[in-house]
Structure 1
Amino acid sequence: MSLPYFESVSPGSGTVPPRSWYATSSAASLSLNGSWRFRLSPTAEAEDDSFARPGYDASGWGEITVPGHWVLQGDGAHGSPAYTNVNYPFPVDPPRVPTENPTGDHLRVFDLPDTWPADGESVIRFEGVESCAKVWLNGTELGDFKGSRLPHEFSVGGLLQEHDNVLAVRVHQWSSGSYLEDQDQWWLPGIFREVSLLHRPDGAAADFRVHASYDHRDGLGTLRVETTTPAARVSVPELGLDLASGEPATVPVQPWTAETPRLYDGEIRTAAGETIPFRAGFRTVALEDGLIKVNGTPVLFRGVNRHEFHPEHGRAVGLDTMRRDLLLMKRHNVNAVRTSHYPPHPAFLDLCDELGLWVIDECDLETHGFVFDDWRRNPVDDERWTPALLDRARRMVERDKNHPSVLLWSLGNECGTGAGLTAMARWIRDRDPSRLVHYEGDPSCADTDVYSRMYPPHDEVETIGRYEDEGPAKRRQLPFILCEYGHAMGNGPGGLADYQRLFEAHDRLQGGFVWEWIDHGLNHPGYGFGYGGDFGEELHDGNFVCDGLLFPDRTPSPGLVEYKKVIEPVRIHGDGNGDSSADTVRVTNGHDFTDLTHLAFTWSYEVDGESVATGPLTVPPLAPGQSAEVKLPAPPADARGSEAAWTVRAELAEDTAWAPAGHLVAWGQLTAAPRAVTAAATGAAPVRDRDTITLGPAVFDARTGALRSLGPIQVPADGEPRLDVWRAPTDNDDGAPWQPDARYGLLWREAGLHRVRHRRDQVALDDGALVVRSRVAPAASQLGLATEYRWTADDSGRLTLSVTVTPEGDWRIPLPRLGIRFGIPSTYGETATWFGGGPGEAYPDTRAAARLGRWQSPVDALQTPYVRPQENGARADVRWAELTGPDGGGLRITGEPEFWFTARRWTTEQLDAAGHGTDLVPGDTVWVNLDHAQHGIGSQSCGPGPLPQYRLEAAPATFSFTFSALGRIGH
């Protein structure tokens, strides 16, 4: 049976050979973006091709914007987006696709500009169409193509007319190409990148290639630009070069690196009169001594995986958004991007060249859904599909070959193994031996230059770093990277600092790429941002599509703030011995190429979280890898306080292309004077009457021992302070079924920790204290926590609660949290001020970015708006916290020892039940958690769980909090 073109395994027909992309040329061009006529059909063959003929009346059609996806336009009239991670959203029967195959017919009528040349050739170029397209111009069929994230061009010179040119494009949502594009993202059909008409003068260069190597031993760069027309000339005025096509020249240059992205502007001039600007970055990539080296130096990737995404436009991402992404990356110390899992818009690589990022350029290829059938019928192991695979490799390499930022070509992602991948690797190496080849999915590393893994646990990474891993002999000689790690889904990822310590300790470990850059939450009329299942999909993977370091609106998440601190390229450490007369700080340059002359260092001396003195700090111009002990000044003579610390900052000394002078690159803190122990409130005697017990400023229920008021603050009936061990499980708590670590979120719920009961055993007055003894335990279980609350007070208005917890039973799981929860009227809790870690949230394994200081925030702003609500908002190492209302009345809490502080205007149970942020409705009570300890976060939504040192094991604990009312509230 002959298959239609959209089900053929052929990559297409009629296109011209792929070539390099460039942003501008002196040749004529015409953008065909904008409003197109559009008709959607339910099947591929519901309509004939008469719409492509001149004169066809499409006045009854709707309109759609190109670039764009039709499912994101038309207010639902054009279908809906759908999200799956691994599963194909159609029956797996390659290369066949369902009869129900939404098909969009697009029409664009255009005139040629009056200045359009009459000679030469013209091509119509499509930068990206999902997933298969057939194209006509003025009724003549040009051909068809697949390869959604790759460019395709058709010659049209003989078909153009001055007026009323009819460009017709039929786009099928499903095609044989869909089997090669199972890439953990929304399925979004349409013409989502630019369409343009380009003039190609007679004698023009059909293609060109810039070779710009660098010899680090003598500082010389060699430039050679090959063009397909020998009559071309190549000039680089800054270097004094004017060369023939293919002619090499070796001159002194400044090299290109991600830290110093030095580019030289050049121009190609052809005999046809066309000029094509280009930019040369001189650098050499090599695999030497078992390491990836650039210009003779090993590099450490501080990277991210980046899908192209916009919450309104899907993969139709504009230049401003691309630049915004890269500025955010640079400002958060990210130095590398893996273009998961397809080549990005070509302009993105121009920006990487300009701003400075290492790039792993990944082919538009993933066949992950075949894993469920043990990779049976996998296209990459079926020779009939090899031409399509090679076509995708060629289009990527030819388009992107002139970018100095691209260090490695990646064959694709999660495709299993097969001869098709080997054919791709051989072709790429033959075409471009100046770069390395990457692929993660083949443990033999037969076709790759780097050993790459996803989400291995820390201990395995350390074993690999020590060259103690088992496996093929070739693999043990290769450098190692984590092409995916630190799964940034919801609250997290945890454990990044522990990975980074391994990277910096072992040369073989050349860093990694956090998964991923941005949450793919699409705008939704009811939920704000929607995820899988919110658009009526019958098969979906829920919020697994929201696993980024940015929220969908590109607001940095706490995970990105943490990552910035973890990967900062300057290390600032002190001994923290508290001997301020002899304090020094150790500064280490972690850059690969640059010294520290581009940074300005300052010190700040802080007492009780507030700066009392600042000044510049002279740091030697350390070369990469060098360290120095730098003397700090004497602390201010009049500085007094219970706790003091030095904060040293490294900031940009001058404006750069990616951030202004003063931008914070790195920081460190060391103790100058340690915190004094906070004494409990004692001395006031409890007084009992029939219904109440009065203790200092507080009133308790005499029968239950429940706190009812503290000074003017009335405690809500259900808001008494009592032990709390439950948190709304994070995505990482719930974990992934394929990971071997225990999925504690599920185990906590199975154990009933979300529904514990509080049995009151005794209320007694004992030696000047009110003592309440209780047992906290879930139903259907012998597990319990024997809890003693000991209340004391003094005559100055302070009230202290000391809590002693003793586990009972055979606890085989850690606790989510351990502390107390209580509620206060929201009129007392609009603003939070605290002395501790901040300004953002932190947890035991996500606390590197928590800087000790005095911070203030509206209570509502303490919440982190994860797309799927979950535990969030804790502040670490808190010494004291205040909750206040508009007139300053409120509550002060001091902890011994330091504690984790959380406040929100809904309960943990309400947070746990919410599917979207719109489900959370603020109430009249502010619910406060004061935690002695929290369980770690980990990365188990796709990676490993928290390391042992971050697990909150059930063990005896004692902690205390002292409360005092602030001001008064009027009535």
Structure 2
Amino acid sequence: MRTAAAEATATAYVEDVSPGSGTLPPRARYTSSDAKSLSLNGSWRFRLSDTADAEDDSFAEPGHDTDGWAELTVPGHWVLQGHGSPIYTNHRYPFPVDPPRVPTENPTGDHLRVFDLPGDWPVPDDDGCGAVLRFDGVESCARVWLNGTCLGEFKGSRLPHEFAVGPLLRPAGNVLAVRVHQWSAGSYLEDQDQWWLPGIFRDVTLLHQPRGCARDFFVHASYDHRDGTGTLRVDSDVAGRVTVPALGIDVPTGEPVTVPVTPWSAEEPHLYDGLLATEGERVPLRVGFRTVKLSDGLITVNGTPVLFKGVNRHEWHPERGRALDLETMREDVLLMKRHNVNAVRTSHYPPHPDFLDLCDEYGLWVIDECDLETHGFTEQGWRDNPVDDDRWTPALLDRAARTVERDKNHPSVVLWSLGNEAGTGRGLTAMAEWIHGRDPSRLVHYEGDHTCRDTDVHSRMYADHAEVERIGRGLDGGTRKCRELPFLLCEYAHAMGNGPGGLADYQRLFEAHARLQGGFVWEWIDHGIAHPELGFAYGGDFGEELHDGNFVCDGLLFPDRRPSPGLTEFKKVIEPVAITGTDGSVRVTNKYDFADLSALRLTWAYQVDGETVASGTLPLPALAPRESAGLDLPAPPPDAPAGEALWTVRAVLASDTPWAPEGHVVAWGQIPVSETRPPYLTPTARPTPHGDGVLVLGPGTFDARTGALTAIGGVAVVAPRLDVWRATTDNDDGAAWQPERRFGPLWRRLGLHRVRHRLDAVEHTDHALTVRTRVAPAASDLGLRTVYRWTSDGQRLRLTVSVAPEGDWTVPLPRLGIRIGLSSADRVEWFGGGPGEAYPDTGAAAELGRWQSTVDDLQTPYVRPQENGARAGVRWAELGGLRIEGDPVFSLTARRWTTEQLDAATHRTDLSPGDTVWLHLDHALHGIGSQSCGPGPLPPYHLRAEPAGFSLVFSPLPTTPTGPTTPTGPPALTG
């Protein structure tokens, strides 16, 4: 029995700041045409302990009894397979900060796999090649044994580690044992905004290495845009020959050769198949020729400045966490390409290596980020930050080397990133110097280097539009070096919940100033965990004592990889073809950096009131990048009906591509021909008493005492009344550390979520019913004088609403419109913006047309319920037996629950459909912004409390049933 001191010694490696021991030097990841490999993924035996020293290491010995152990899938996280629970924090360490010490309560998973070698596995060589055991990702610290021999231990969760194991292998009954600790000294370097998920979550592979194998190699493939030639040199640890048949290349390793080539870019990702042949093996190569330079203060590839239209991508699957399979990764890449995304920042660690293969193949620019973040030290003013402590520098350099050496042969990787939110310090400088020395063919990025001492780009996150414009104009106050460098927003447009707003405004700045080379939206996917009761769980749903709630759900995809409205908006904002024009002509501008438009064709449709009455194609010149051309549109059909007319012109793929089929829409534009025609109504009907306290005006039935509308034709309604509240979005609520005003808390403090409605007067005239009210929150002298004026031509009913603020309103309103309840509604048809939701600063993707949906499908399933689903610019809508027309337009929202119920819900499963369908017919809405981490909505999108007026026209549809059920009224909370 070991003493406590012996146990502490046995587990000292857990708190050692070194990267580990026993592992081989990092190298390129590749597959061999000859050498055998054996995947050790699959079912492993598993035992979980509460502490690092709860069990001795006898389990690593062959013949150890594992009866009673669980079965666990590798790759995987044990907390997602029924053993313990995940933890989410944004930046705070979920353990006491006392580097490099970690808690005694340190969940430790013992993993065991017994395997046989295939019958044709070669006999180990005497020269030490033999075989290598490779781990592609283990969180956060592991010790490894093979057949009872300790191979060593390692840290660096999202990085590869290899052990030489040739002499230890047996033909059968090999016992691979891995002890994984959730917390280690390495955890202090991995404080990324994500779930803490321990386990062996990437592949485990046994690789044979024959005598004379390649070991490691570096493919240098540059391109000279001036003469169209590429220069290839492959440096290899073991001498051999390099062949590229399509280019006629056959040269020794280490020898450069220059030939005419087609270059690689994210828009035209041309790869050449090659082969590295050494004495012992042949290694397939996929060579992309491209040159990355800092030229005249700009990031250029192949001599051309690049505009990054990117996303930050954490690896995520709602059931498997960071254990991704190839098809999930391919799905991500295809979705990016189909939504015009051209770049990825691998936040905040190198991705699974297969992802970079896909980026090479399909074409994406990549900022490859090292597995480093120490953000939690900001709570101590960065005191004891490891990146400024020389004891940790070997671990930092190890992480940099494992990133660069693994991924150096990918043409998609154009920048290396030192890490994220790790402050500043000598360790980061050492990393930058090593990377610059090892790979001068790429640039180095790090956002936290505000003096740009160690980096080749000036990078910021969440800078607001005004600051970005100042930087673009060269007026920012950074160091001289910073002002001379290209600028990237490595994170912007925080895509949390409803939003992000302001994307189009950022993009206009990027395109107006050459120095602004784009940005990367935070982030790609919501990290919700599939949950049987909650739908998708987020921080706090697993009983964490410290968590950051749904801040982990801030992606352009929902957890199940359905695109959010934010991704649809982003696709439109960054589309690579601009389509504008006036009646009779269209102007097409190529906004690609490298590709011409020969892969696209133009289609047109002439539409009246949302219906296509004629369509066809237009010849599209093969415009070079940044070229424009004007094209004549055909004459409108002579028999086209009268109405609101426009042209819709689309740029679509002319043929199938590897990432999308023929006809896929790349870009679109609409050109108005005629203006919106508001409904015309001449008041002729008179308000008429009908006994029992009922007043009738045209198709409208009113309560004679209160003036409240109770029915339109045969459709019973809950009386419309002014509504200024919305269930706050994540961006309304804002981030506590933001200096801007957070409107959600201000609105609640003012009481806008609980306003009261006071009836002041009900007035009858010959052709109108007028209801005067005051809408105001308790405990405030602020109010909104509101007048409802009803008129009718006998068939239709017009409501004109006039609003006059009283008091000193210093904050905008969430919304301004009316809420009305219907007894039933399912199908919805409308002429207006669609098909998805749109708000004042998120409406670029709203296409004017005629759309259909169900009430249920109008809802946007944000992981945390909030305001959603508004359709903008609606001319008319039909649902629940009514036709509603705007004068001139309105915003439409329809739900089976009230705003109050939506506001109170924390998960989608909290929302239960009621008996009433609630319509919001809004004159205006406050903007969205991205203040959950970035700036709030720009001032033009603020809904200021000012005098306003708007009108709506209601009429029953011919099929309206009789004898409707009276809908339930709103909760008393609203007054």
TM-score (norm 1): 0.97
The one-letter code sitting in structure 2 at the alignment partner of 1:109 is V
| C-alpha contact (below 8 Å) 2:31/2:283 kept by paired residues | no
Matched residue SS, 1:337: strand
What is the correspondence of 1:322-721 to structure 2 with a 5 Å cutoff?
Answer: 322-575=329-582, 580=583, 583-690=584-691, 691-715=693-717, 719-721=718-720
| C-alpha contact (below 8 Å) 1:326/1:351 kept by paired residues | yes
The one-letter code sitting in structure 1 at the alignment partner of 2:199 is G
Q: Is 2:844 the counterpart of 1:839?
A: no
Residue aligning to 2:819: 821
Matched residue SS, 2:719: coil
| C-alpha contact (below 8 Å) 1:119/1:202 kept by paired residues | no
Residue aligning to 1:179: 188
Matched residue SS, 1:937: coil
Distance across 2 between alignment mates of 1:71 and 1:342: 21
Instruction: Report the Cα offset of residue 970 of structure 1.
Output: 5.5
Q: Is 2:856 the counterpart of 1:860?
A: yes
Which of 910, 913, 917 aligns to 1:919? It is 910
Distance across 2 between alignment mates of 1:530 and 1:641: 52
What is the correspondence of 1:928-943 to structure 2 with a 5 Å cutoff?
Answer: 928-943=919-934
Which of 867, 872, 886 aligns to 1:895? It is 886
Distance across 2 between alignment mates of 1:241 and 1:493: 49
Distance across 1 between alignment mates of 2:906 and 2:821: 24
Residue aligning to 2:798: 800
Which of 909, 929, 942 aligns to 2:900? It is 909
1:313-333 deviations in Å (ceiling 9; x for gaps): 000011000000000000000
The one-letter code sitting in structure 2 at the alignment partner of 1:820 is I
Q: Is 2:97 the counterpart of 1:92?
A: yes
Provide runs of 4+ in structure 1 moved above 2 Å.
none
Distance across 1 between alignment mates of 2:508 and 2:102: 48
Q: Is 2:944 the counterpart of 1:946?
A: no
Which of 65, 68, 82 aligns to 2:73? It is 65
Distance across 1 between alignment mates of 2:509 and 2:76: 43
Residue aligning to 2:967: none
| C-alpha contact (below 8 Å) 1:440/1:451 kept by paired residues | yes
Residue aligning to 2:13: 5
Instruction: Report the Cα offset of residue 681 of structure 1.
Output: 4.9
Distance across 1 between alignment mates of 2:932 and 2:323: 28
Residue aligning to 2:159: 150
| C-alpha contact (below 8 Å) 1:307/1:341 kept by paired residues | yes
The one-letter code sitting in structure 1 at the alignment partner of 2:372 is L
Residue aligning to 2:272: 264
Matched residue SS, 1:321: helix
The one-letter code sitting in structure 1 at the alignment partner of 2:142 is A
The one-letter code sitting in structure 2 at the alignment partner of 1:763 is V
Q: Is 2:123 the counterpart of 1:118?
A: yes
Which of 7, 27, 30 aligns to 2:35? It is 27
Q: Are residues 24 and 694 of structure 1, via their aligned partners in 2, closer, same or farther at CA, if it must alter by over 3 Å?
A: farther
Instruction: Report the Cα offset of residue 26 of structure 1.
Output: 1.7
Distance across 2 between alignment mates of 1:467 and 1:219: 34
| C-alpha contact (below 8 Å) 2:859/2:868 kept by paired residues | yes
Instruction: Report the Cα offset of residue 240 of structure 1.
Output: 1.3
Which of 228, 246, 250 aligns to 1:242? It is 250
Distance across 2 between alignment mates of 1:681 and 1:462: 50
1:298-346 deviations in Å (ceiling 9; x for gaps): 0000000000000000000110000000000000000000000000000
Residue aligning to 1:165: 174
Residue aligning to 1:887: none
Instruction: Report the Cα offset of residue 278 of structure 1.
Output: 1.2
The one-letter code sitting in structure 2 at the alignment partner of 1:100 is E
What is the correspondence of 1:103-114 to structure 2 with a 5 Å cutoff?
Answer: 103-114=108-119
| C-alpha contact (below 8 Å) 1:681/1:800 kept by paired residues | no
| C-alpha contact (below 8 Å) 2:349/2:419 kept by paired residues | yes
Matched residue SS, 2:491: strand
Residue aligning to 2:203: 194
| C-alpha contact (below 8 Å) 1:213/1:221 kept by paired residues | yes
Distance across 2 between alignment mates of 1:891 and 1:675: 21
Matched residue SS, 2:761: strand
| C-alpha contact (below 8 Å) 1:444/1:475 kept by paired residues | yes
1:16-53 deviations in Å (ceiling 9; x for gaps): 01110124442011110000000000000000000001
Distance across 2 between alignment mates of 1:22 and 1:587: 43
| C-alpha contact (below 8 Å) 1:681/1:799 kept by paired residues | no
1:686-705 deviations in Å (ceiling 9; x for gaps): 10244111101111000010
1:138-183 deviations in Å (ceiling 9; x for gaps): 0000000000000000001111111100000000000000000000
Distance across 2 between alignment mates of 1:677 and 1:800: 12
| C-alpha contact (below 8 Å) 2:734/2:932 kept by paired residues | yes
The one-letter code sitting in structure 1 at the alignment partner of 2:893 is T
| C-alpha contact (below 8 Å) 1:80/1:535 kept by paired residues | yes
The one-letter code sitting in structure 2 at the alignment partner of 1:19 is R
Instruction: Report the Cα offset of residue 619 of structure 1.
Output: 2.5
| C-alpha contact (below 8 Å) 1:23/1:347 kept by paired residues | no
Alignment gaps of 5+ in structure 1? 885-889
Q: Report which stretch shifted further, 444-453 or 764-773.
A: 764-773
Distance across 2 between alignment mates of 1:681 and 1:540: 60
Distance across 1 between alignment mates of 2:76 and 2:365: 29
Residue aligning to 2:960: 968
| C-alpha contact (below 8 Å) 2:40/2:204 kept by paired residues | yes
Residue aligning to 2:768: 769
Matched residue SS, 1:384: helix
Matched residue SS, 1:484: strand
Distance across 2 between alignment mates of 1:394 and 1:381: 19
Distance across 1 between alignment mates of 2:946 and 2:623: 47
What is the correspondence of 1:214-229 to structure 2 with a 5 Å cutoff?
Answer: 214-229=223-238
Which of 81, 84, 99 aligns to 2:86? It is 81
Alignment gaps of 5+ in structure 2? 1-7, 964-975
The one-letter code sitting in structure 1 at the alignment partner of 2:55 is E
Distance across 2 between alignment mates of 1:876 and 1:767: 35
- The count of corresponding residues between Structure 1 and Structure 2 is 949
1:264-310 deviations in Å (ceiling 9; x for gaps): 001111112x1111100000000000000000000000000000000
1:85-117 deviations in Å (ceiling 9; x for gaps): 010000000000000000000000001111000
1:499-541 deviations in Å (ceiling 9; x for gaps): 0000000000000000000000001121010000001111000
Distance across 2 between alignment mates of 1:818 and 1:574: 33
1:5-24 deviations in Å (ceiling 9; x for gaps): 01000000000011101244
The one-letter code sitting in structure 2 at the alignment partner of 1:699 is T
| C-alpha contact (below 8 Å) 2:502/2:842 kept by paired residues | yes
Instruction: Report the Cα offset of residue 470 of structure 1.
Output: 1.1
1:745-764 deviations in Å (ceiling 9; x for gaps): 11001000000000000001
Distance across 1 between alignment mates of 2:706 and 2:962: 29
Instruction: Report the Cα offset of residue 680 of structure 1.
Output: 3.1
The one-letter code sitting in structure 2 at the alignment partner of 1:224 is R
Distance across 2 between alignment mates of 1:80 and 1:661: 45
| C-alpha contact (below 8 Å) 1:286/1:435 kept by paired residues | yes
1:467-520 deviations in Å (ceiling 9; x for gaps): 111121111000001000000000000000000000000000000000000000
1:595-636 deviations in Å (ceiling 9; x for gaps): 111100011100001111001112322111111221111111
